[in-house]
Each structure stands twice: as structure tokens, then as C-alpha cells.
Amino acid sequence: MKKKIALFLIGLLFLSGIFLGIEKAGEKSKHSTITTTTSTTSTTTQTNKQKKKNAVKSELPDVSVKDWNLLLVNAHNTVKDRQPNLTSLANGQQLDEKVYPYYVQLSEAARQAGYTLLAISGYRSVAYQQQLLNNDIQSYLNQGYSQEAAKKKALEYMTEPGTSEHHTGLAIDVLEQTWYEKGNALETSFGETKAGEWLAQNAATYGFIIRYPKGKEDITGIQYEPWHLRFVGKENALYMAKHQLVLEEYLALLKD
């Protein structure tokens, strides 16, 4: 009897060892599968990103970063007081004469869609930009801000003289006339109006981009401005709109 019990225990231990080995092998296989799957997923993601990047680059227009309509002006790329050949709009605002016909086309398209565009600010000299900044700073000083705080507040929606696109004649701030006549000004809420939405969706067809879009503030260095149009040319504008690029990103692609 004792012999049978001993044999039974030996058999039980033997079977336990087999099952334990199978379990460990299964865990090892499972871990290997997870590792392989993670590695494969990571590789696939990287491959897809590269394919997307290659596709984006393959569609790049055959243009140069030195083209007149791709001039970059920001806090890191300043311009001296330049005097482009200007043409005046009906209300006295000015644009580069090469941009003027495209703005007329955009305005007419907007009119046909039921919106009357109103040019608020076009070309500005460096001296005039300084005057505007000083006036804005003074308004905040009058409200009790310190000199430092007043300038910081003013620069939230203004730029230092020499760093404004308005110096180029390629940029213009626009609103819809009816909206403006109701007492509204250059406010981000303009982007939520029907006119603002139309402008964002159709500007590229006429060579313009919303230069400072929402979500790109860390790249442009400027807060969202749905009213600020910048002419870059139809081909460039359509490409940038399709791939949701700001000028800084687009120029980086062209240089790559």
C-alpha cells in the first residue's frame, strides 16, 4: 500500500512539473508575442509617418523660399523699413500692387457669397507701427498697468516694429462690414462668424492664408488672428491649406 502511495505521489509530482513547464512556456510565448506586437506597431507607426511625410513632400510646389511672396517676417526675421510699390483700396488702405488684383477677386467672391469684406489695416511703415504700439501701451498705462505690464499686454496682439508682416504690403486685416458696423473690432470671435468661416475656407483659392491660425501659436509666436490675411500665391496657399501648415512650417519643408 505504501508503495502504491509513493508511486502515486511521484506520478503527481511528475505531472505537476509538466504543467508548470507548459505554463512557463506559455507565459514566455505570451511575453514574446506582446514584445513582437509592440515592436511591430511601433515600426508600422514610424513607417506610416514617413510615408505621410514623403507624400507631403512629393506634392510640394516647385517654388523657392526666396520668392517675393514667401518673405518670412516674424520675431526672428525682421525687415527694415521697405517701400513696396503700393496700390490703394477704396478706403485708403494699401497693398503691394502685385497683391491688389487677388484681393479684389477675393472681395468679389465674398460679395457673391453674401459678405462685404472691409479692409481694416494694410501696409504700415516701421515708424507707423511704432506709433501704434506706443498708443496701445499708453492706453494700458492709463488703465493702471505698469510700463512692463502695459507693453506685454500690447504685444499680445501687436508686434515690435520691424517684425510685422504689414511692413511688406503682403498682409491685410479684414472684417465683414455688417459685423464691424455692429461695434465689433479685431476680435477672435470673428472667426466664429459665417463670414469668418467663409474666409478661412476660401482665402487660399485666391492666394491668401490665415497667417496666424488657432493651434499654431507656439510656431508663429502670435495669438490666433482670424482677420489677418497674408498673400503667398495660389499654389502655395492651396498646398498650405491642404496640409494645415503655417508659413514657418512650409518654408522648413521647402528647405529640407
Q: Which of 220, 183, 213 is nearest to 199 (CA)?
A: 213
**Residue 126 clears pLDDT 50, i.e. is over it:** yes
**Residue 130 clears pLDDT 80, i.e. is over it:** yes
Q: What's the order of all strands across the beta sheet hosting 225-231?
A: 117-121, 171-176, 225-231, 208-212
What number is the average pLDDT over the span 84-96? Answer: 96
What number is the average pLDDT over the span 28-50? Answer: 58
d(CA 107, CA 121): 15
- From the number of C-beta atoms within 10 Å of its C-beta (0-12, 13-18, 19+), residue 34 rates as exposed
Write the CATH number of the domain with boundaries 68-124+164-255. 3.30.1380.10
pTM for the model stands at 0.78
Sign (positive/negative) of CA torsion 188, 190, 192, 198? negative
Sign (positive/negative) of CA torsion 156, 162, 167, 168? negative
Domain extents in the chain: 1-58, 68-124+164-255
Under 8 Å between Cβ of 203 and 105:
no
pLDDT of residue 109: 99
